[in-house]
Chain A
Amino acid sequence: MSQSKKTLKKNDALLCIPEKNILVEETFLTSGDMILSFPVGYKPFFRKIQKIMRKNPEKSFTRKIQLDSLGIDVWKLINGKNNVRAIVKKFADIHRLNYKEAELSVTLFLRSMGEKGLIGIKEP
C-alpha cells in the first residue's frame, strides 16, 4: 500500500505549533551562545556495520549544535503553545524586523531544526 505524503499549504504551515524534543539539553556558553545537545541514532548503513562488528546497533551518539543570539530567541519562543506565525511576529517585534524578513529566517531555522530532530511540529 502506498503512503501518500501530506503537504501543507503555507497558511496552514504557519498555524502549526513547533515543540522541543524533550531529549535536548541546553548549555549556555560564556560568549552568550547556546549549545543544544541531543542523542542521535546511527543511520541504517552504520547500524549494519555495528552489528557486523558485534557492537550494540541501538547505541546512539550525541550531536551538538551552537545557536547564536538570534537562534536562542527563536528557541526560547518554542514552548509548545506558540504557533509558527506567533513566533515570527514575536521575533520580528524583538528585532524590529520586517514581517516578511522574519518569516523567511524563522521558517528556515525551524525547518533545519526539524530536519535535525530537535523539534517536532504538531498541527493545530
Chain B
Amino acid sequence: MEDVCSLLNFMPEQKNPLTKKIAWNGISLMMPEAWEIDTLDAAHMLIGKEGTPEAEIKWTDAPGQFTLEKYLKDFISRAQKLLTIKIREQPTPHFFLYPDNNFKFFFFSWESVLSKGTGTLIFCPQCKRLTMIRFFSESKISRDCLQALMLNSFKDHPEAEKINWQVFGFNFSTPLSLKLLEYSFNPGCYIINFKQEKTIITIFNWGPAAFLLSKISLAEFAKQRLPRLKGLAKVESLPHGNYLEWAYHHGRFKNAELLPFMKKFFTVFRIHHNKPLNRLFGIMADSPDKFERDLINRINIGN
C-alpha cells in the first residue's frame, strides 16, 4: 500500500495544503480546502472528504483534581467504548517532543472492525484540556505530512480573550464569558445560541441572500423570519456595510411591558447583508436586565 503521508508531503517552497480554518467551541485547526465537517457536536467533530471520514476530533475539559496519567487513562477508556475502537500507544515522533505550543502529545494507533489509523492525544498544560485527534489513515506521521501540519496548527486557547467560531460559513468571535447553549444547521438557516448569565445571544446566518432578498427588502425579510420584532429599524453602519437595528422592550406575554409591575425584557436585533458572501447575518441579544450594548458590538458577525 502506498504511503499516503509521503504522497502528501510537500516541499517548503510548495503551497501549504491547509487552507481552511475551522474553529468551534474553543478549539481551532487548519485543514485542506476539500475537507468538510460531516458531524458536529459541542465537543466533537467528524471531518470527511466527499463522504469519506478523514479525521475525528473529540475534546474534554479537565476534572477538578487529576493526575495526567489517570486523566489520559480515563479518556482513552471512554473513547474506546464510545467510538468502539482499540487504542495502542505509539512512540512520539521526535519532532513532537518539544513543540513550540507547549502541548504534550501522546501518539497512538487505533483499530476498529472496519478501519484503522493513527491519532494523537493533546494535553494542554495551561487550560488542562485534553483533545483526541484520530486520522483515518494508517501512514506514519512524518515532519511535513498533512497530519503533522494539522497538529501543528491546532489551538485550544482563545486569542485576545475571544473565542473564534469558524464553521459552515460563519466567522465571528465571542467574548470568553459567552457559553454555547444550542445550535442548528439547516440548509439556508444556521442558528447558534449563547448564554451569558441571563442574556441570550443568538447568531443567525441565512442564505443565499440574493435569492432571499429577490422579492422583499432586508427589513421585510427580518420581520418575516422574526415576527416578534417591534417598531422601526434604524440604519447603522459597519466597516463592511450597513446594518438594520431594532431595539425594544417587551414582556413575557403580549403587552405585558405596559404593566408597571411586570419585568421587562430588552431585545436588540441587528441584521446585515453581506453581498460578497451572499449571506444575511443576524445577531439578537435578549435580556431581562439592561445589558451592555457593547456586548453585541464585540461580536463581529459577517466579517
Contacts and interface: CB of A to CB of B under 8 A. Distances in A.
B197 to A, nearest CB: 32
A100 B278 contact: no
B207 interface: yes
Interface string B262-277: 0000000000000001
Contact of B50 (A85, A95, A102): A85
B10 interface: no
A68 B215 CA distance: 11
Contacts of A108: 187
A97 interface: yes
A89 B209 CA distance: 18
A95 B188 contact: no
Contact of A14 (B50, B188, B214): B50
B51 A97 contact: no
Contact of A10 (B51, B207, B210): B51
A101 B207 CA distance: 10
A99 B51 CA distance: 12
Interface string A67-104: 01110000000000000010000000001111111101
Contacts of B37: 100
Contacts of B156: none
A85 B37 CA distance: 17
Contact of B277 (A68, A70, A96, A105): A96
Given A69-B214, A70-B211, A105-B188, A98 B169 contact: yes
B187 A101 contact: yes
A104 B189 CA distance: 12
Contacts of A69: 211, 214
Interface string B174-190: 00000000000101100
Interface residues of A, number: 19
A11 interface: yes
Nearest to A106: B187
**What's the dominant secondary structure at chain B's contact region?**
loop
B158 interface: no
A96 B277 CA distance: 7
Contacts of B168: 98, 100-101
Instruction: Count chain A CB atoms within 10 A of each CB in B37, B51, B211, B278 and give the residue with the most.
Output: B51
A11 B208 contact: no
A105 B185 CA distance: 12
B52 interface: yes
Contacts of A95: 207-208, 210-211, 278
Nearest to A73: B211
A98 B278 CA distance: 11
Nearest to A31: B215
Given A11-B52, A69-B214, A105-B188, A100 B36 contact: yes
A68 B211 CA distance: 9
B207 A97 contact: yes
Nearest to B215: A31
A70 B208 CA distance: 9
A47 to B, nearest CB: 37
Contacts of B207: 95-97, 101
Given A11-B52, A101-B168, 9 more contacts: A14-B51, A95-B207, A95-B208, A95-B211, A95-B278, A96-B208, A96-B278, A98-B168, A101-B187
Interface of B: 36-38, 50-52, 168-169, 185, 187-188, 207-208, 210-211, 214, 277-279
